Amino acid sequence: MHYRLTKLFRLACLLPTLLVACSDSPSDSRDLMTSGEGVLRYVPADTAYVFAALESVPEEVREKLAPHLNTLVRTYADMLRAVVVHPPEDAEESGLDDETRERIAAIIDELGGMITADGIPEAGIGPESDAAIYGVGLLPVMRVTLPDRELFEAFVEKLENRAGAKMSTASIDGHEYRYAGNDEAHVIVATIGNQLVITGAPAGLPEAQLKSLLGLSLPAESIAESGALAAVSEKYRLSSFGAGFIDVERIAATFIDEQSGVNSELLALMDYDAADLSDVCKTEIRSLAGIAPRIVSGYTEVTPEHFKSISVVELRSDLAAGVQTLTAAVPGLGTERGGLIALGMSLNMIAARDFYSARLDALEADPYKCELLEDLQAGVTNGRAVLEQPVPPTVYAFRGILAVIDDIKGMDIKKQQPPTDVNMRLLVATDNPEALVAMGAMFSPDVASMDLQPDSKPVRLAVPAVASMIEAAWVAMSDDAIALSFGNGSETRLESMLGAASKQPPPFMSMNMDAGRYYSLIGDVTAASTDSGEIPEVAKANAEIMTLMGQMFDRISFDVEFTENGIEIPSTMELKD
């Protein structure tokens, strides 16, 4: 489930890139990210977060995705509409009456029919547009260039007529804007010059601060002038198709240091006062934020064949150095690319123990004194108790695991029919495979009688009668791993599996899957789930989304790597022909 949501989120993040960009021809990313003419001139250099789509994906990519994307957007709209119109159990607390729900649903219907792979043509948003989502303080701003402002104004009027209600209007410096909300907060929609600006702000925000949100007054220094986004993009090879970051330390500082401007207004709306924090809490919370000071994400390559992206959780340098010791070589991990799905992880158990012990040492040497961190500090005692527990030598010999499902046959989820045959392999990497076999022999006479040797030659295993879906099972051993396979003919892959190279440096986790079959399977599961309590329309839309994802993508893979930067997660989504 987590992986499914992650992939849907990644696809959602790509939608702005598909819908808006500044040109149809490739451009130098640094030029776009340091230009004083683009949307980044409105983004403060000290923004806490930003994600910008400054270049159009290749036209052949849009053409390839267009049939799927249009249907996908419509299906998402159906799902969102069902959520809106279906009253939750706490409907009164949500503040939405039936009339408001119907108005929102009407807008969703209208938008769902307008969004295409080329943008929202009826709103004047297309391939020649570029966009950025960023923070002025912590307040979010979305800015999109509009080739045709009049067309967008007509589009908004059409949405208002469809909803049967118009947004309130006001003006500032001669610029009219629309807003909706209550006495505490407003959502603001403005067209200023050739740009659409959507933001949220406390009601009654002083004029000077509202002007900074809308871009009527430029920041003292923009992120284009500072080159901060360009520097991040160069470091991680991000493209101008989509790149951004979240500054964790800056967000933490908002709740620690005295604030002015929009943040002051926002914190007042939240009834939050940093003066209530003790000095020691401020120091220690700042230190915690420094553990992972920044999160970076973006696309490194977008072609008709694949999308490549990377997410990075940057770590404090000593922690980044520490986590690099935690992985171990596992045959095939990070290089296995076949079958329905290959999933595995690696872990140097001794290094993990040492790393954990060092963290406990640090907490004992310099304990947290802030009352908000009492539970974290109290965990040191429990952590020491865990380390003092006796651990069998076979545990410290463990290096990792790799599971490969090559094929599943005969399964029909709609008819609740289990698989008739499962063809899969499982590898356990260990410094002492003989000890692992000896342990197995203690529980099974069949294992004891196999006379398994570290020559990678498969030996047949007796299959329990209860395992009706498994026709045959085999096991083989090398000097550093044991591998099992299930299914007729599966033994032919064991020797090559044991002898496979591991990606270097070894990843902490790795996954590669046949996206078409995987999403089809998830779609069938979703469609067959009748007692999940989910809104029927939402369940139906979810199943359709899974089917569409399977039609769009061939294979999807990602690794979790520990590097000098911290935790890096490169990902590839291969498009179907």
β-strand 175-181 against 294-302: which pairing, if any?
Answer: unpaired
> How many angstroms separate the CA atoms of 114 and 404, rounded?
42
DSSP label at 469? T
Domain annotation covers residue 451: yes
Q: Rounded to the nearest 5 degrees, what angle is found at the Cα of 41, between the Cα atoms of 39 and 45?
A: 120
Which residue, 507, 522, 554, sits at the end of a domain? 507
The HSE-up count of residue 311 (CA atoms within 13 Å, CB side) is 15
**Do 356 and 210 have their domain in common?**
no
Closest CA to 136 of 238, 218, 231: 218
Q: Is 42 helix (H, G, I), strand (E, B) or coil?
A: helix
Domain annotation covers residue 557: no
- Amino acid identity, residue 185? A
Domain annotation covers residue 568: no
Domain annotation covers residue 428: yes
**Do 36 and 172 have their domain in common?**
yes
Per-residue pLDDT tens, the chain, 577 aa: give them.
333 333 444 444 444 444 444 433 345 788 899 988 899 999 999 999 999 999 888 889 888 888 888 888 888 888 888 888 776 665 555 556 777 778 888 888 877 777 777 778 878 887 778 999 999 999 999 999 998 888 888 888 888 888 888 899 999 999 999 998 888 899 999 999 999 999 999 998 999 999 999 999 999 999 999 999 999 999 999 999 999 999 999 999 999 999 988 999 999 989 999 999 999 999 999 999 999 999 999 999 999 999 999 999 999 999 999 999 999 999 999 998 888 999 999 999 999 999 999 999 999 999 999 999 999 999 999 999 999 988 888 899 999 999 999 988 777 666 667 777 788 999 999 999 998 888 877 777 777 778 889 999 999 887 664 455 667 889 999 999 999 999 888 899 999 999 999 999 999 999 999 998 888 888 777 776 655 567 788 888 888 888 888 889 999 999 999 999 999 999 999 999 8
Domain annotation covers residue 573: no
Q: Which residues of 415-433 are buried (b: 16+ CB within 10 A; e: fewer)?
A: eeeeeebbbbbbbbbbbeb
Asked if 123 contacts 158 with a C-beta cutoff of 8 angstroms, the reply is: no
**Do 228 and 341 have their domain in common?**
no
Domain limits for position 60: 2-233
259 token code pair: 């604030």
Burial (Cβ within 10 Å: 0-12, 13-18, ≥19) of residue 390 = exposed
What is the tens place of the pLDDT at every residue in 64-106? 888 888 888 888 888 888 888 776 665 555 556 777 778 888 8
**Do 337 and 212 have their domain in common?**
no
The strand ranges marked E within 508-565 are 509-514, 553-563
Domain annotation covers residue 205: yes
Where helices occur in 366-478 by DSSP H, the ranges are 374-388, 393-397, 433-443, 445-448
What is the tens place of the pLDDT at every residue in 347-376? 999 999 999 999 999 999 999 999 999 999
**Do 355 and 489 have their domain in common?**
yes
Closest CA to 384 of 360, 419, 363: 360
Rounded to the nearest 5°, which phi and psi values hold at 17? -65, -35
Domain annotation covers residue 146: yes
Q: Is 9 helix (H, G, I), strand (E, B) or coil?
A: helix
Which residue, 197, 212, 233, sits at the end of a domain? 233
**Do 356 and 223 have their domain in common?**
no
Q: Match 């994400």 to its residue by tokens.
A: 297
What is the tens place of the pLDDT at every residue in 460-505? 887 664 455 667 889 999 999 999 999 888 899 999 999 999 999 9
Which residue, 233, 253, 270, sits at the end of a domain? 233
Domain annotation covers residue 169: yes
**Do 203 and 345 have their domain in common?**
no
Rounded to the nearest 5°, which phi and psi values hold at 468? -65, -25
179: β partners: 168, 188
**Do 31 and 169 have their domain in common?**
yes
The number of folded domains in the chain is 2
